[in-house]
Structure 1
Amino acid sequence: MSGLLEVEGLQTAYGDSQVLFGIDLAVGPGEVATLLGRNGMGKTTTVRSILGLTRARAGTVRFLGERIESRAPDRIARMGLAVVPEGRQIFPNLSVRENLVAFAARRNASADPWTLDRVLALFPRLAERAANLGNQLSGGEQQMLAIGRALMTNPHLLILDEATEGLAPLIREEIWRCLDTLRGQGQAILVIDKYVQRLVRLADRHTLIERGRVVWRGESAALAASPELWQRYIGI
């Protein structure tokens, strides 16, 4: 395990239905990691448990060296853990600019701060639409806005749940370009997505889960050399 986010033996249930059975996961400072698996295998539940949105039944979650599995979601977020959720969840009746500045914070004081101008420079499409309402944006633009909104909190760790799901190929490439840029700037990221071909070039290490259990963990070179894992656990 390494020092930014450390998840050990995580078990989570919805009522009497157990979903996670001892998940281990780690993201180090400046590292890009992935959580991979087919739909319904526990990826989003893992994220919800890390964020405190779904209470873990057992196991530990450490962030910045502190145990957080019993903390409220708002306290966890204020520590510098930001998520780009599945479905984006931007404010449809606020402008692009308002969506961004509403979340401005300085939760990672050691990093070069993300400002409105810096986010708009990262996403020129958003700069062109800064006065547009959220509901006037395309799906891809909404995803850019959701990423920009998370960056405006200046997080220690950025989590993207279904980073490019449902996006057109050109927009998807723009999201990958953005993540490459963030990695180059030292932003720690945990990515959930299905495009393994891109993720093995982007990420340092990977965790594959099946029915709420970790079935494989390793670095990109090992995953790139094992396409049978893609077929078996991701369906590619």
Structure 2
Amino acid sequence: MSAILKVQDITAAYGSSQVLFGVTFEIKRGDIATLLGRNGMGKSTTIRSILGLNRIGSGSITFNGQRIDAMATDRIARAGVAIVPEGRQIFPNLTVEENLVAFSANRSKAAEPWTLARIYELFPRLRERSRNMGKQLSGGEQQMLAIGRALMTNPHLLILDEATEGLAPLIREEIWHCLERLRSVGQTTLVIDKYVERLTRFADQHTIIERGKVVWSGDSPTLRAAPDVWHRYVGV
């Protein structure tokens, strides 16, 4: 299957401090991929570079066959990249339904696009809370809403940054079941998280970053068979 995203040998810096040193990976269409590593190792800078929030120094980022590393962030979003940001960042004074429909679009031109009904099917709790304000939701409900809001843009690529951070174990499990469902319907997804053992149950491909460099990449069976690798670089 063809790659929808190709990150090729990118470097990035903040002022005189270089953060990324030749990061390379790709995501195949329809796959769930992960970007792993401890805090401060370059994951966020990599995501910011994909989204156009941080200009790369060298290398290239190609999405759907088009170079995007010099594009403005809004153009990248319109091209079909959506993010569920760390901290969720939902609109606290809009209802659940207003949050979901505010930026709805069918950028992927999917035959079965994500609609309000499909989001409520994926997250029945959001249907129950549809008239509640965002600020009235629990942390887990806010994360469901953030994922639903991103899906309502019908992205070609969905990025989840620290998707289960700070959530109770049962809610984390619900989010992971959601990701398994997304995989089953062919939604290409990039997940930044730390629960390697759980991620290897459904993700297709993994990239581990250490100090701004890719130190390991491979599929789930290979990573499951090498717990020393993920204990060393992720430490969970």
TM-score, length of structure 2 as denominator length? 0.98
> Deviation of residue 110 (structure 1)?
3.1
Which has the larger displacement, 181-190 or 109-118? 109-118
Shift of the alpha carbon at 1:59?
A: 1.0
Aligned to 2:189: 189
- Residues 74 and 206 from structure 1, CA distance in 2 versus in 1: closer, same or farther, beyond 3 angstroms? same
Partner of 1:3: 3
Q: Which moved more, 1:66-75 or 1:108-117?
A: 108-117
Aligned letter for 1:182? L
Cα pair 1:10 1:20 within 8 Å, conserved: yes
Give the Cα–Cα distance (whole angstroms) in 1 for the partners of residues 226 and 205 of structure 2.
Answer: 14
Q: Find the residue that maps to 2:39 and give its secondary structure.
A: coil
Structure 1 pair 60–111 and aligned structure 2 pair: CA distance change class (3 A)? farther
- Letter matched to residue 183 of structure 1: R
- Aligned position for 2:55: 55
Distance in 2, matches of 1:138 and 1:5, equals: 33
Structure 1 residue 3, shift from structure 2 partner = 2.0
2:177 alignment counterpart: 177
TM alignment of 1:91-102, pairs within 5 A? 91-102=91-102
CA contact (8 A) 1:45 1:54 kept: yes
The aligned runs of 1:58-73 (5 Å cut-off) are 58-73=58-73
Corresponding residue for residue 44 of structure 2 = 44
Secondary structure in 1 matching 2:3: coil
Q: Which string of whole-angstrom CA distances, capped at 9 and with x for unpartnered residues, describes residues 163-193 of structure 1?
A: 1011001110110010000100011111010
Distance 1:112 1:21 in 2: 40
How far apart, CA to CA, are the structure 1 residues paired with 2:147 and 2:156? 14
Separation (CA, whole Å) in 2 of partners of 1:50 and 1:14? 16
Alignment match, 2:231: 231
Q: How does 1:195-210 map to 2 (within 5 A)?
A: 195-210=195-210
Asked whether the equivalents of residues 110 and 154 of structure 2 are also in contact (C-alpha less than 8 Å), the reply is no
SS in 2 for 1:180: helix
Kept in 2: contact 1:2–1:26 (CA 8 A): no
What does 1:72-111 correspond to in 2, within 5 Å?
Answer: 72-111=72-111
Question: What is the CA distance between 1:112 and its match in structure 2?
Answer: 1.4
The 3-state SS of whatever aligns with 1:202 is: coil
Task: Give distance in 1, aligned partners of 2:136 and 2:100.
Answer: 15
Give me the whole-angstrom Cα distance separating, in 2, the residues matched to 1:199 and 1:91.
Answer: 29
Ranges of 4+ aligned residues in structure 1 off by more than 4 Å: none
Q: Percent identity?
A: 67
